[in-house]
A and B are shown apart, each in its own frame.
Chain A
Amino acid sequence: MAASDELGALTKAFSGFGVDEKSLISILGKSHPEQRQTFRKGTRDFFIQDERQFERWDDRHVIQLQHEFLRFKHAIVLWTMHQWERDARLLKEALYKGPTHNVLIEVACTRSSEELLGARRAYHSLFDHSVEEDVAFGIHDPERKLLVALVSSYRYEGPKVNEETAKSEAKFLSSAIKGAAGNKNLIENEEVVRILVTRSKLHLISVYKHYKEISGNYLDEDLDGHLYLQETVQCLCKPQAYFSKVLDASMIPNVDEIKKEAVTRIIVTRADVDMKQIKEEYNHKYGVSLPNKIEDVANGNYRDFLLTLVARGD
Chain B
Amino acid sequence: MSSLSVPAHVPSVAEDCEQLHKAFTGWGTNEGLIISILGHRNAAQRKSIRQVYAETYGEDLLKALDKELTNDFERIVLLWTLEPSERDAYLANEATKRWTSSNQVLMEIACTRSPKELLLAREAYHARFKRSLEEDAAYHTHGDFRKLLVPLVSSYRYGGDDVNLTLAKSEAKLLHEKISKKAYNDDDLIRILATRSKAQINATLNQYKNEFGNDINKDLKADPKDEFLAILRGTIKCLVCPEKYFEKAIRLAINRQGTDEGALTRVVATQAEFNMKIIKDEYQKRNSVPLDRAIAKDTTGDYEKMLLALIGHGEA
**A interface, CB within 8 angstroms of B:** 117, 120-121, 124, 128-130, 132-133, 136-137, 141, 144-145, 148-149, 152-158, 160, 190, 194, 197-200
- Does B157 belong to the interface (CB within 8 Å)? yes
B141 nearest in chain A by CB position: A194
Interface centre among A120, A121, A148, A200 (most CB of B within 10 A): A148
Contact B135 A156 (CB under 8 A): yes
- Does B126 belong to the interface (CB within 8 Å)? yes
B136 to chain A, nearest CB (A): 8
**In the complex, chain B residues whose CB is within 8 Å of the CB of A133:** 157-158, 195-197
Contact B195 A199 (CB under 8 A): no
- Does B179 belong to the interface (CB within 8 Å)? no
Q: Can you list 16 pairs linking A and B with CB atoms under 8 Å apart?
A: A124-B159, A130-B155, A130-B195, A130-B197, A137-B191, A148-B191, A148-B195, A152-B156, A153-B132, A154-B154, A194-B138, A197-B134, A198-B135, A198-B139, A199-B135, A200-B131
**In the complex, chain B residues whose CB is within 8 Å of the CB of A136:** 191, 194-195
**In the complex, chain A residues whose CB is within 8 Å of the CB of B122:** 154
Identify the 5 closest CB pairs spanning chains A and B, nearest first: A198-B135, A133-B195, A152-B154, A160-B130, A136-B191
**In the complex, chain A residues whose CB is within 8 Å of the CB of B156:** 117, 120-121, 130, 132, 152
Interface size on B, residues (CB 8 A): 29
Contact A148 B151 (CB under 8 A): yes
B161 nearest in chain A by CB position: A128
- Known A120-B156, A132-B195; judge A154-B146 contact (CB<8 A): no
Q: Which of B119, B134, B155 contacts A132 (CB 8 A)?
A: B155
Contact A141 B151 (CB under 8 A): no
Contact A130 B146 (CB under 8 A): no
Contact B132 A130 (CB under 8 A): no
**B interface, CB within 8 angstroms of A:** 119, 122-123, 126, 130-135, 138-139, 146, 150-151, 154-160, 162, 187, 191, 194-197
Q: Which of B119, B131, B154 contacts A149 (CB 8 A)?
A: B154
A145 nearest in chain B by CB position: B187
A239 to chain B, nearest CB (A): 19
**In the complex, chain B residues whose CB is within 8 Å of the CB of A190:** 146
B203 to chain A, nearest CB (A): 14
Besides A137-B195, A154-B122, 19 other CB < 8 A contacts? A124-B158, A128-B162, A130-B155, A130-B197, A132-B151, A132-B156, A133-B197, A136-B195, A144-B191, A149-B151, A152-B155, A153-B134, A154-B126, A154-B133, A156-B132, A156-B135, A160-B130, A194-B150, A198-B139
Instruction: State in angstroms the CA–CA spacing of A198 and B96 once bound together.
Output: 15
Instruction: State in angstroms the CA–CA spacing of A89 and B292 once bound together.
Output: 51
B122 nearest in chain A by CB position: A154
Q: Which of B123, B132, B157, B159 contacts A198 (CB 8 A)?
A: B132
- Known A133-B196, A200-B132; judge A158-B138 contact (CB<8 A): no
**In the complex, chain B residues whose CB is within 8 Å of the CB of A155:** 132, 135
**In the complex, chain B residues whose CB is within 8 Å of the CB of A117:** 119, 156
Instruction: State in angstroms the CA–CA spacing of A155 and B131 once bound together.
Output: 8
A135 to chain B, nearest CB (A): 8
A190 to chain B, nearest CB (A): 7
Interface centre among B131, B133, B159, B191 (most CB of A within 10 A): B131
**In the complex, chain A residues whose CB is within 8 Å of the CB of B187:** 141, 144-145
Instruction: State in angstroms the CA–CA spacing of A253 and B194 once bound together.
Output: 44
Instruction: State in angstroms the CA–CA spacing of A12 and B194 once bound together.
Output: 52
**In the complex, chain B residues whose CB is within 8 Å of the CB of A158:** 126, 130
B146 nearest in chain A by CB position: A190
Instruction: State in angstroms the CA–CA spacing of A129 and B155 once bound together.
Output: 12
B178 to chain A, nearest CB (A): 15
A162 nearest in chain B by CB position: B131
Instruction: State in angstroms the CA–CA spacing of A209 and B138 once bound together.
Output: 23
Contact A198 B134 (CB under 8 A): yes
A131 nearest in chain B by CB position: B156
A140 nearest in chain B by CB position: B187
B170 to chain A, nearest CB (A): 11
Instruction: State in angstroms the CA–CA spacing of A190 and B135 once bound together.
Output: 13
**In the complex, chain A residues whose CB is within 8 Å of the CB of B146:** 190, 194
B142 to chain A, nearest CB (A): 8
**In the complex, chain B residues whose CB is within 8 Å of the CB of A197:** 134, 138
**In the complex, chain A residues whose CB is within 8 Å of the CB of B151:** 132, 148-149, 152
Instruction: State in angstroms the CA–CA spacing of A136 and B130 once bound together.
Output: 29
Instruction: State in angstroms the CA–CA spacing of A160 and B160 once bound together.
Output: 37
**In the complex, chain A residues whose CB is within 8 Å of the CB of B154:** 132, 149, 152-154
**In the complex, chain A residues whose CB is within 8 Å of the CB of B197:** 129-130, 133
B190 nearest in chain A by CB position: A136
Q: Which of A128, A130, A145, A156 contacts B131 (CB 8 A)?
A: A156
- Known A132-B156, A200-B131; judge A157-B126 contact (CB<8 A): yes
Interface centre among B126, B135, B191, B196 (most CB of A within 10 A): B135
Instruction: State in angstroms the CA–CA spacing of A289 and B156 once bound together.
Output: 41
Contact A194 B196 (CB under 8 A): no
Instruction: State in angstroms the CA–CA spacing of A200 and B135 once bound together.
Output: 9
- Known A130-B195, A148-B195, A149-B150; judge A198-B155 contact (CB<8 A): no
Instruction: State in angstroms the CA–CA spacing of A197 and B146 once bound together.
Output: 13
Instruction: State in angstroms the CA–CA spacing of A292 and B154 once bound together.
Output: 43
**In the complex, chain A residues whose CB is within 8 Å of the CB of B126:** 154, 156-158
Instruction: State in angstroms the CA–CA spacing of A141 and B187 once bound together.
Output: 9
